[in-house]
Structure 1
């Protein structure tokens, strides 16, 4: 159990990547359940919710808010977590805090690698079809990418980094780094095995809660990025 200063009660869920996790921040304490599993997220998730609530000795209705990774990530994984959070939010009329899955990945990698210091972290998830979801996150503003989150092929990612004014040295984390092209990237160190943890989602959610950045269960929407790219291309074709 980890202790934080914040006294807000937030429950966070994630099934975005190859893991399933639930974390509860309650009166400054953090409780997490994490299991690395490619399947069975639907079966595992709600029992894990029950476990962390029972350990903290509170009920769902005692929470201030729910938090969830809004994406980008696996279509199926995002739908599982978001639909579960919507159901829980409807049950007790709770607000929801959407958190970037890439920002949570970067924060977790920074937590696991204190030697990376305050340098920017490039977070990458495999988007399949020779593409990655990616963003770059600083320690000063960990919720927002220094450049817009995107879905691109590795060569486009490298070009974007080269043309950006992001300070170096750069570190990187996430399963999207398996593509061979990233071997030539200007990265000091990488952690390809880094996964998203709900504990990092809940830590990012706390300041967003204080800023009033919540949505209703009905308004909660996943961020796929790839769908957005396709939509923009269709709009461009129609305007020609």
Structure 2
């Protein structure tokens, strides 16, 4: 019996869950308009453990969403996960954020799913999966235009899901594209993937693991006023 703690902080959804094997026990999350991870993540972890009548010493591993996504959000989640793993000497499991989003879609043979996270302007983080949850195109940060994903429109249906779907649905005109903006990364969708990795002992090096930022963080500075 494996007891796993799952942390998802790649987007505005601050999400914590606990599972036994591949069954979820507790879910605490808040998808606020603004990022609330620094205020809520550790509160959610404490509340989830209390609801499940568990302590940190009862955990067998911590799973964390590895990105891509918000630079600050990912750092907060990974830092918390590593701190717990160090303190109670348990393994760390990383889950690709876009893959956990793709798993929320019922994709049939001949269909594809493209999870997209909003980046800046017309840029998104995206990846392409088939109905067997196999990655058929690697994760990219890309500017969307009318030719984006054109090589995949021969599929019967192409589900474009996530926060990036809203701003690109007016650009991608092929009728095979189906857009769903309601799909968000959530720790509950990490559970089955994390348990498979736990059984296979696919663990990260806690000391050296870093989130998958995909792009370098750029600090926006205010322009100085001229006199």
Look up the match of 1:154.
144
Counterpart contact for 2:4–2:19, Cα < 8 Å: yes
1:104 maps onto 2:100 in alignment? yes
Q: For this pair of structures, how many residues does the alignment match?
A: 213
**Structure 2, gaps ≥5 residues long:** 218-227
CA distance in 2, matches of 1:227, 1:187: 33
CA drift at 1:28: 5.1
> Alignment partner of 1:179: what SS?
helix
CA drift at 1:27: 4.8
TM-score, normalisation: structure 2? 0.84
TM-score, normalisation: structure 1? 0.80
Query: Which of 24, 28, 31 is the equivalent residue of 1:33?
Result: 28
* Cα deviation code 1:184-233 (max 9, x no counterpart): 145442111321110112222111222221113212211111239xxxxx
1:191 maps onto 2:180 in alignment? yes
Counterpart contact for 1:26–1:56, Cα < 8 Å: no
RMSD across aligned C-alpha pairs, in angstroms?
Answer: 2.2
Query: Which of 125, 132, 140 is the equivalent residue of 1:140?
Result: 132
Look up the match of 2:87.
91
CA distance in 2, matches of 1:160, 1:69: 26
CA distance in 2, matches of 1:168, 1:58: 46
CA distance in 1, matches of 2:174, 2:203: 36
Counterpart contact for 1:94–1:216, Cα < 8 Å: no
**Structure 1, gaps ≥5 residues long:** 1-6, 229-240
1:57 maps onto 2:53 in alignment? yes
CA distance in 1, matches of 2:76, 2:138: 25
Counterpart contact for 1:12–1:202, Cα < 8 Å: yes
